[in-house]
């Protein structure tokens, strides 16, 4: 805060005048301009001339209108001098049907090189008029300082023509300019030997067409330095305050801000430092950081240099290229450097040629807008020496594109220069298939300007890029060009072999050493072109700022960006969605067992995942977080003056711990304290001699229970202390060992962060303590529910932070045909999720691009009084909506649309602000952008809404297990296990099958139902539904017992020759094979090298999201791998367990395992939605399921127990051999053990048979009862759901009951 106050005060001193100017910077600038200040691309006639385009004027025809044949119309205004522009206003042509409904705004210092104005969210389009008389003002989100403005119409009245009158509002400002030619600099010399400052403010504006150059440099003898420089079109700040490690190091670390700063336009820079805190701002992008080193002041000797380093040989100075460009209003701690230089003050020394007017050359560029249709065709004069040469500069982000194509003599030869995989590729095509080619191993798709020179005037064709060594193609005769030179693309009629076009900028085009005038091309005097924009390079850095969340890596092309989420723990178009569950409770509800898991307690929030142990053996699901002190600690010799202190570092960050504790129903932590003559409290005044610190660092002195205000131990609360005169056993201060063990359960104080022991310094004093792990159970958000029983009622909450990304997740059940689940409004923007009809959920929103609508239609009614899950997400790349396990619907965001969702009202849940279309029913587990809303608390104080939700399936107890769905009945409930790999009345009975070598089960996938192909309605023509390979995902789980290797466990094959296989290799190790791209070798992963063919039961779960593969084996093995491709499985054909009969393009090792099949027991097999063993047992005779060889229903769990007992007996035998017993006794024991094992096995088999008979009988009874009560039985549903094979991982969250 102190730093911020200083920065504010400093900034107000140095920019106070500017701020005052801004306050009054709204004066009209156009109304008094002369006719000569107006220009246009064309005019319909003299009365429609550009100078008639003044706001509210009726001169001539009442405004400007271009010719009907003008394909690129524009109106230009010269403000006569540099002005600060804050607002623009437009109006149609007076008393006409001519107006412009949208336009672009360009600005320029010289009227030659133009820059396109973009709003803060990147949108370039301005809203225009809807009639000819109303004035529409657009206030600029940031002001621009410029002389020339150009209005470029985009859309106009379809019933009329273009008509425009304009006004510009702003003010003049004082400008001090210096021009540096790349060999000059200004030196500001101090009055004393060195200058030491604890606070600095440096501000300036600059423009340049060079990507490299030093703007500022200063250094001191003790090692301090400050350098501000352009590097690769970005601004780097090097700053060191007495850090001896960096003083002698060549690796100086820079803080980088900005991008594409070599665009010949002005950029603002502010550097603010107070002590070690620094703010660096370039235009609207800022970095805040803290300097390294011991010092708090910057000590610079003799001078600061601006524009370059005049003495490159100065000791300790690293060489850099001097700045070539202009600087304006350069201030150092309130000192106007350029003004002092201009007035030739003695503090300023000028090196080289520094002038005080900006006369930088304007390099005019053109932009190739389309990769499919843009081209520039030029026909130059022939070279006098034969052959030809071409030089030009270009910049792009695209990794592929055609730069140049030239037809050659004799026909049909041609020369092509391409960008291929970010490298230049020159190809000489001869007759037939003959060709010569050369690659330049130099990356050019980095957004920077690159120079290319191609010369055929000598026999070897030479290609040179920037300052790299030339590449050559040897030819036997000199090449002559034939016809036009095509840049950036080529009309299909003139190109026999069309290539992908170039999308980017070009400038300085020379053919045969003659410059090509792009202005003449634009005027139709030279060459031909299509889809080009002249006088401007519209490149933009779509990764600045980085819109990929959670550390996702941004990459871009000319028109879009993408996020690489690998290694982040998140997925989605912008790495917004956590791939982990939010709690152990959530893992149990999807069928997981005890083990180590990564949980993300705030979902899509900023905290990130952490690993915990989930204990699911009890009815309650416990979450355990360990710390660094697991063993008991012995303490001696401590006192209050020199206490023993132990700090606990947990396996999670403090913020993650807080989130886990907050969402848990209950938390506790055991503290074991054994003592001998070591008291906890002073017997005289009761002050503590030992204590612990809570999670906030507050001192606590209670040692058990949940009453933090009571200074007692557990024995006092339970009234069983060894001496009732004391509140703790240890306070009796006896020679014998005593124990004060307690359970801390006031969760707002947990976990224990530190323990302090202060009374072990007396003779015979000793203490031994142990602090257990933090243990929490329950998830308060899962069953937090509210019931809405009045249509006009609603709950309201504060507006969530959802400008760039928002995700909404909740469950609902209702009998009403429609109703709004939630709504949030802004001035124009909004977001809404509703049940629009009994079977349709709709997600609609508007971020400024027009309303967009996503709908999911169910083949069954959703108002069936059962719980249904809804998840909606909107980010800058796309929107999505999913309902239960219906297919995920996507809507792509427009490439250059608005990004920010601006909401101002409260969030309404269960209704709308208008109190219409309210929702009747239950909503639970509402989460918006990782924030869990407490519906129950708000419902208690809201009329028409009650806390909780009635029904058997509305409690926190897990009535149905392993993804089973709880279905309400009039007199109870039933569990729908159709989406579970388990069976039984509560979906907790494993479905197991025994295989032999010839056995196999194959499930054949079919096309989805037509209901899955419903198209989401869209109100905005710029929003397009799509699917992306990055959404590829699979979820597989199964258990098995075998002693055979190699063995084939599971195979997934597609019609496109892709496959996934899980096998046991020859050594019994598990191998996972992913073959996603047929032209590459498959990815092979071995999570564990030890043999799993050991006769034991093993549980395997495999989950893929894009390139990320997560594998869990049993409870203790967790692995993460990265695939070589994120391609999805295209047209899945079959899923097979056991022996594979059909010939596949398998690797030799996989082929061998496929031929061997599988001998053993497979249990609870699930692939996405398909529970294959259940399908085989319940759908025998179905065309979808093919069974080969003997297949016997079994019980893997019972076999595992039997096998475990046998192995234990066998394992005990060697130990017994070491004991002094006779050989006969050992033989008798072995016989007895074998008999017992056989009896146990026979009993288990008999029990399994009886269980199966009872199970079938009960299933038949249930089937009949369900048919009477509900026409959609779970087995009928299951047969239907077998077709839904495109489900994603989020589908697994459908039934949390």
Give the model confidence (pLDDT) of 56-69 as tens digits. Answer: 999 999 999 999 99
pLDDT in tens, 1135-1177: 999 999 876 778 888 998 998 999 999 998 988 878 888 888 8
% of the chain surpassing 90 pLDDT: 53
Q: pLDDT-based confidence at 8, cuts 50/70/90?
A: very low
Is pLDDT above 90 for 1043? Answer: yes
Look at residue 676 in the predicted model and tell me its pLDDT.
92
Is pLDDT above 60 for 1257? Answer: no
Phi, psi (5° rounding) for residue 1076? -100, -25
Is pLDDT above 70 for 1276? Answer: no
CA–CA distance, 673 with 1008 (Å, rounded to integer): 63
Identify the residue with better confidence: 881 or 986. Answer: 881
CB 234 within 8 A of CB 259: yes
For the ranges 258-262, 275-279, 847-851, 1196-1200, the lowest mean pLDDT is seen at: 1196-1200
pLDDT in tens, 448-464: 999 999 998 887 899 99
Is pLDDT above 80 for 563? Answer: yes
CA distances from 993 to 412, 616, 963, 1203 (A): 68, 25, 21, 16
Q: Are strands 165-172 and 277-282 parallel, antiparallel or unpaired?
A: unpaired
Look at residue 1274 in the predicted model and tell me its pLDDT.
33
Q: Give the highest mean pLDDT range of 45-54, 1204-1213, 1244-1253.
A: 45-54
**HEC secondary structure over 175-234:** CCEEEEECCCEEEEEEEEEEEEECEEEEEEEEEECCCCEEEEEEECCCCCEEEEEEECCE
Contacts of residue 525, defined as CB under 8 A and 6 or more positions apart, other chains included, come to none
Look at residue 591 in the predicted model and tell me its pLDDT.
76
CB 138 within 8 A of CB 126: yes
Look at residue 1277 in the predicted model and tell me its pLDDT.
34
Q: pLDDT-based confidence at 1272, cuts 50/70/90?
A: very low
Q: What angle do CA 499, 503, 508 make, to 5 degrees?
A: 105
Contacts of residue 298, defined as CB under 8 A and 6 or more positions apart, other chains included, come to 196, 197, 198, 200, 220, 224, 226, 239, 241, 273
For the ranges 2-11, 107-116, 696-705, 1049-1058, the lowest mean pLDDT is seen at: 2-11
Is pLDDT above 80 for 2? Answer: no
Look at residue 42 in the predicted model and tell me its pLDDT.
94
Identify the residue with better confidence: 337 or 1232. Answer: 337
pLDDT in tens, 375-405: 999 988 777 677 899 999 999 999 999 999 9
Question: Helix 1196-1217 crosses helix 1223-1269 at what angle (to 10 degrees)?
Answer: 170
Look at residue 780 in the predicted model and tell me its pLDDT.
87
Average pLDDT (832-856) is 95
CB 562 within 8 A of CB 555: yes
CB 582 within 8 A of CB 612: no
Look at residue 1031 in the predicted model and tell me its pLDDT.
58
Could you tell me how far CA 981 lies from the centroid of its own chain? Answer: 32
Is pLDDT above 80 for 1209? Answer: no
CA–CA distance, 544 with 534 (Å, rounded to integer): 25
Is pLDDT above 70 for 1026? Answer: no
pLDDT in tens, 41-58: 999 999 999 999 999 999
Number of Cβ atoms within 10 Å of the Cβ of 658: 19
For 987-998, give the DSSP string: T-EE-EEEE-TT
Average pLDDT (684-713) is 83
pLDDT in tens, 475-496: 877 788 888 999 999 887 666 6
For the ranges 553-562, 590-599, 899-908, the lowest mean pLDDT is seen at: 590-599
CA–CA distance, 816 with 918 (Å, rounded to integer): 10
Look at residue 1013 in the predicted model and tell me its pLDDT.
31
Average pLDDT, the chain: 84
Look at residue 540 in the predicted model and tell me its pLDDT.
93
CB 452 within 8 A of CB 465: yes
Look at residue 23 in the predicted model and tell me its pLDDT.
60
pLDDT in tens, 769-815: 999 999 999 888 888 999 999 988 999 999 888 789 999 999 999 99
Helix (H, G, I), strand (E, B) or coil at 1193: strand
CA–CA distance, 429 with 498 (Å, rounded to integer): 13
Identify the residue with better confidence: 532 or 312. Answer: 532
CA atoms 985, 986, 987, 993: torsion sign: negative
Phi, psi (5° rounding) for residue 129? -105, 160
Tokens of 173: 């400002």
Is pLDDT above 50 for 727? Answer: yes
Q: pLDDT-based confidence at 426, cuts 50/70/90?
A: very high
Q: Helices then strands (H, E): number in the chain?
A: 13, 87
Look at residue 968 in the predicted model and tell me its pLDDT.
78
């Amino acid at each position: 805060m102190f730093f911020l106050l200083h920065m504010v005060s400093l900034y107000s001193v140095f920019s106070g005048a500017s701020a005052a100017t801004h306050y009054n910077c709204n004066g009209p600038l156009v109304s008094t301009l002369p006719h000569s200040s107006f220009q246009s691309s064309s005019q319909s006639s003299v009365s429609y001339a550009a100078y008639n385009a003044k706001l509210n004027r009726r001169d001539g025809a009442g405004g400007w209108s271009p010719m009907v044949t003008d394909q690129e119309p524009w109106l230009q205004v010269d403000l006569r001098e540099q002005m600060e522009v804050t607002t623009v206003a437009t109006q149609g042509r007076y008393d006409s049907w001519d107006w412009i409904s949208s336009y672009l705004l360009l600005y320029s210092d010289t009227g030659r090189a133009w820059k396109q104005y973009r709003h803060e969210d990147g949108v370039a389009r301005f809203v225009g008029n809807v009639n000819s008389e109303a004035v529409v003002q657009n206030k600029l989100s940031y002001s621009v300082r410029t002389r020339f403005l150009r209005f470029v119409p985009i859309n106009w009245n379809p019933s009329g023509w273009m008509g425009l009158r304009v006004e510009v509002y702003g003010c003049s400002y004082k400008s001090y300019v210096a021009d540096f030619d790349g060999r000059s600099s200004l030196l500001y010399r101090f009055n004393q030997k060195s200058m030491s400052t604890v606070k600095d403010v440096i501000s300036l504006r600059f423009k340049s067409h060079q990507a490299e150059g030093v703007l500022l440099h200063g250094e001191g003898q003790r090692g301090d330095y400050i350098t501000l420089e352009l590097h690769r079109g970005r601004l780097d700040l090097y700053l060191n305050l007495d850090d001896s490690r960096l003083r002698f190091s060549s690796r100086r670390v820079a803080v980088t801000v900005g991008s594409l700063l070599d665009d010949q336009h002005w950029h603002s820079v502010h550097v603010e430092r107070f002590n070690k805190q620094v703010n660096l701002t370039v235009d609207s992008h800022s970095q805040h950081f803290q300097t390294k080193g011991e010092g708090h002041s910057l000590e610079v000797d003799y001078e600061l240099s601006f524009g370059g380093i005049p003495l490159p040989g100065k000791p300790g100075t690293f060489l850099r290229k001097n700045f070539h460009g202009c600087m304006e209003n350069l201030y150092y701690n309130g000192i106007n450097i350029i003004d002092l230089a201009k007035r030739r003050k003695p503090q300023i020394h000028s090196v080289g040629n520094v002038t005080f007017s900006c006369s930088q050359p304007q390099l005019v560029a053109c932009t190739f807008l389309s990769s499919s249709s843009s081209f520039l065709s030029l026909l130059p004069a022939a070279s006098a020496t034969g052959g030809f040469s071409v030089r030009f500069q270009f910049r792009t982000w695209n990794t592929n594109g055609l730069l140049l194509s030239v037809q050659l003599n004799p026909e049909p030869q041609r020369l092509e220069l391409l960008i291929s995989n970010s490298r230049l590729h020159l190809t000489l095509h001869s007759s037939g298939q003959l060709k010569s080619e050369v690659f330049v191993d130099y990356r050019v798709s980095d957004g920077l300007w690159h120079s290319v020179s191609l010369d055929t005037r000598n026999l070897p064709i030479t290609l040179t890029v920037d300052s790299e060594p030339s590449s050559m193609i040897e030819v036997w005769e000199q090449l002559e060009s034939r016809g036009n030179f095509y840049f950036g693309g080529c009309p299909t009629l003139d190109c026999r072999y069309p290539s992908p076009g170039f999308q980017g900028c070009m400038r300085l085009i020379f053919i045969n050493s003659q410059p090509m005038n792009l202005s003449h091309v634009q005027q139709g005097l030279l060459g031909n072109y299509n889809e080009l924009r002249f006088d401007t390079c519209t490149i933009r850095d779509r990764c600045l700022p980085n819109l990929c969340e959670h550390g996702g890596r941004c990459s871009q092309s000319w028109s879009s960006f993408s996020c690489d989420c690998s290694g982040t723990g998140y997925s989605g178009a912008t790495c917004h969605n956590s791939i982990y569950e939010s709690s152990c409770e959530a893992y149990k509800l999807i069928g997981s067992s005890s083990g180590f898991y990564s949980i993300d307690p705030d979902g899509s929030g900023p905290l990130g995942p952490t690993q915990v142990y989930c204990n699911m053996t009890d009815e309650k699901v416990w979450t355990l977080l360990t710390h660094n002190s697991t063993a008991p600690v012995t303490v001696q010799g401590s006192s209050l003056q020199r206490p023993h202190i132990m700090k606990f570092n947990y396996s999670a960050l403090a913020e993650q711990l807080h989130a886990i504790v907050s969402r848990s129903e209950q938390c506790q932590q055991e503290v074991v304290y054994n003592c001998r003559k070591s008291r906890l409290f002073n017997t005289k005044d009761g002050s503590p001699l030992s204590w612990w610190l809570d999670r906030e660092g507050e001192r606590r002195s209670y040692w058990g229970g949940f009453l933090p205000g009571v200074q007692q131990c557990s024995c006092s609360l339970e009234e069983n202390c060894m001496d009732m005169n004391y509140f703790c056993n240890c306070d009796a201060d006896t020679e014998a060992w005593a124990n004060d063990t307690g359970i801390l359960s006031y969760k707002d104080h947990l976990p224990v962060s530190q323990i302090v022991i202060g009374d072990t310094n007396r003779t015979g004093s000793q203490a031994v303590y142990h602090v257990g792990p933090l243990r929490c159970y329950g998830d308060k958000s899962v069953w937090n529910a509210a019931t809405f029983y009045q249509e006009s009622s609603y709950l309201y909450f504060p507006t969530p932070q959802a400008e760039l990304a928002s995700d909404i997740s909740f469950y609902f059940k209702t009998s009403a045909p429609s109703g709004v689940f939630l709504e949030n409004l802004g001035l124009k923007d909004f977001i809404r999720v509703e049940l629009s009809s009994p079977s349709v959920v709709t997600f609609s929103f508007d971020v400024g691009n027009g309303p967009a609508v996503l709908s999911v239609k169910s083949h069954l009614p959703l108002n069936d009084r059962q719980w249904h899950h809804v998840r909606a997400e909107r980010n800058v790349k796309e929107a999505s909506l999913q309902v239960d396990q219906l297919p995920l619907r996507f809507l792509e965001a427009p490439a250059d649309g608005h990004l920010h969702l601006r909401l101002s009202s409260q969030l309404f849940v269960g209704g709308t602000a208008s109190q219409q279309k309210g929702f009747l029913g239950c909503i639970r587990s509402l989460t918006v952008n990782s924030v869990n809303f407490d519906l129950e608390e708000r419902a208690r104080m809201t009329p028409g809404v009650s806390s909780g939700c009635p029904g058997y399936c509305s409690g926190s107890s897990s009535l149905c297990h392993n993804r089973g769905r709880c279905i309400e009945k009039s007199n109870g409930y039933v569990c729908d296990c159709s989406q579970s790999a388990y069976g039984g009345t509560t979906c907790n009975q494993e479905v197991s099958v025994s295989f032999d070598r010839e056995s196999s089960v194959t499930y054949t996938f079919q096309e989805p139902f037509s209901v899955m192909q419903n198209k989401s309605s869209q109100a905005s023509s710029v929003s397009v539904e799509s699917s992306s390979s990055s959404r590829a995902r699979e979820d597989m789980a199964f258990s098995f017992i075998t002693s055979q290797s190699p063995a084939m466990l599971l195979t997934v094959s597609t019609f496109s020759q892709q496959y996934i296989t899980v096998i046991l290799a020859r050594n019994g190790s598990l191998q996972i094979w992913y073959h996603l791209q047929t032209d590459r070798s498959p990815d092979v992963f071995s999570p564990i090298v030890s043999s799993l063919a050991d006769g034991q039961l093993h549980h395997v779960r495999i989950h893929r999201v894009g390139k990320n593969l997560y594998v869990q084996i049993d409870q203790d093995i967790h692995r993460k791998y990265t695939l070589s491709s994120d391609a999805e499985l295209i047209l899945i054909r079959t899923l097979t367990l056991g022996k594979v009969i059909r010939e596949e393009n398998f690797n030799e090792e996989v082929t061998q395992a496929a031929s061997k099949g599988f001998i053993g027991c497979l249990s609870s097999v699930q692939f996405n939605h398909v529970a294959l063993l259940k399908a085989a047992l319940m759908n025998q005779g179905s065309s979808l399921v093919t069974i080969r060889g003997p297949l016997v229903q079994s019980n893997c769990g019972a076999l595992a127990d039997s096998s475990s007992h046998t192995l234990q007996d066998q394992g005990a035998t060697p130990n017994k051999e070491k004991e002094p017993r006779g050989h006969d006794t050992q033989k008798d024991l072995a016989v007895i053990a074998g008999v017992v094992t056989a009896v146990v096995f026979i009993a288990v088999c008999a029990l399994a048979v009886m269980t199966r008979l009872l199970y079938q009988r009960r299933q038949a009874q249930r089937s009949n009862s369900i048919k009477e009560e509900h026409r959609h039985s779970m087995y009928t549903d299951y047969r239907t759901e077998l077709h839904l094979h495109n489900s994603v991982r989020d589908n697994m969250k459908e039934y949390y009951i």
